[in-house]
Amino acid sequence: MVARRSPASQVHPRRKSKPAPRSIDASAATKQKNTVLCVLLALATIALYSPVIGHSFVVLDDREYVTANPHIHDGLSRNTVKWAFTSTEAANWHPLTWLSHALDYQLFALNPGGHHLDSVLIHALNAVLLFLLLGWVTKRVGPSLLVAALFALHPINVESVAWVAERKNVLSTLFFFLAIGAYGWYARKPDWQRYLLVAALFAAGLMAKPMVITLPFVFLLLDYWPLGRTTGSPASAIGAPQLTGSRLLLEKIPLLVLSAASAWITLIAQRTGQAVRTFEEFPLAIRIENAVVAYGLYLWKMLWPARLAIYPHSAIALPAWRWTLSTLVLMSITALVVTFRKRYLPVGWFWFLGTLIPVIGLVQVGEADMADRYAYIPLIGIFVMIAWGLGDWAEAKEVRTAWLIIPAVCGLTALGFDAHRQMSYWESQYSLLAHTLAVTDPERSAYVHDALGSALLDPGSSMTQHDLENF
């Protein structure tokens, strides 16, 4: 005789299946919330930078990159594509940047508004990608949103967005973020097809601007946190399998080959364009002093974004107190991030230090001792340290969300107002150079004086109607 099932045993399987819809609903709600936050972040970024759409080109590099470049004026023709991949004009090999300018010229000709609009849209997309990447690999929405908002609104990034010739900066960062996203996808389930996508996106970033050359080292930092791929690390939010340190280093070798090739091509291009300065012009001791001071100044301008401009190199020894103070600050922060048992601290700090190395001045290119645009990627590491540090403090103190949102919104609003003021200086060549003279050391500004004189000699291309009326 077959035993009958009790009513309870018949109902029991149905009870086990009930949590599934709740899980689906929670996932859908999270996606909906992230979508809303992405839209708000993008709209805030575009709204902030909308004034630059009415700005003119500046003679400084825009002439070489767009306004007087006959290859760009051919649009996306076969000859332009061939030239872009073989040219070292402007002392760089960045074919994708040339092609982006050629596309803009084909769409907008010499209407600067269209060129500025595309840079603004790419910057907004970069901010959204940064938020999505951090949220995906950490599952922490609040700190991820704060990092992305700081990146989107901070005044130090105005130079990268408001200067048409710096399309290479925002474009290379777009591929930089896409490569990180592909690397996270690869880390979850390593295979050669996924790795090939990582390599292809990294190569695209290098073909937009070689500053992303440090990406393989960034991947090693991400292996430590938040991907948790190193042996003995806490499990990551995306469930990436763990590997030994030697295996993690070994998988970066093909990417390091790409970095080496890009460095070699860039050095040839810059020497051909006579952009690399000799040690007679800039002695090694001065370069080291300037590099240390520049690190400190990038941190200071992140905290207090005032007197942002073009920074001419003095090519003379700096006062001892400046590089001594910067050295002490850097050493102290390094000791603190290594001491505290928070994995995001050393990752953020060494992200900042490492991604600045290509442009810190040890290989001196051009006339500047530092530049706001160079901080576009590096300061993300500091933003991560700040956002996650505040998030952990709030959790430990059980601070209500509202008490976090209010000061965050106030701080971001202040940064937005400062960024709006900063982008007004990029309205024309004249306003940019006049501001630079007002906030930099006059003894170091011979180059700026010369450039401003050229702008005054050609007011039709260098000055807006507002400049002329207030001159």
Q: What is the pLDDT along the chain (471 residues), one digit of tens a residue?
A: 444 444 444 444 444 445 555 556 677 888 899 999 999 999 999 999 999 999 999 877 899 999 999 999 999 999 999 999 999 999 899 999 999 999 999 999 999 999 999 999 999 999 999 999 999 999 999 999 999 999 999 999 999 999 999 999 999 999 999 999 999 999 999 999 999 999 999 999 999 999 999 999 999 999 999 999 999 899 889 999 999 999 999 999 999 999 999 999 999 998 887 777 777 777 888 889 999 999 999 999 999 999 998 887 767 778 899 999 999 999 999 999 999 889 999 999 999 999 999 999 888 776 777 899 999 999 999 999 999 999 999 999 999 888 889 999 999 999 999 999 999 999 988 888 888 888 877 666 666 777 677 666 665 555 444 443 444
Q: Say which residues have a Cβ less than 8 Å from residue 235's Cβ, sequence separation at least 6.
A: 228
**Do the Cβ atoms of 86 and 161 come closer than 8 Å?**
no
- pLDDT reported for residue 58: 87
The CA–CA distances, whole Å, from 244 to 235, 304, 342, 383 equal 15, 41, 21, 29
**Do the Cβ atoms of 387 and 146 come closer than 8 Å?**
yes
- pLDDT reported for residue 463: 44
**Model confidence pTM above 0.75:** yes
- pLDDT reported for residue 10: 46
Handedness of CA 25, 27, 31, 33 (dihedral sign): positive
Cβ of 83: how many Cβ atoms within 10 Å? 20
Q: Say which residues have a Cβ less than 8 Å from residue 198's Cβ, sequence separation at least 6.
A: 179, 182, 183, 186, 255
- pLDDT reported for residue 22: 58
- pLDDT reported for residue 369: 79
- pLDDT reported for residue 142: 95
- pLDDT reported for residue 282: 78
Asked whether the bond before 254 is cis by omega within 30 degrees of 0, the reply is: no
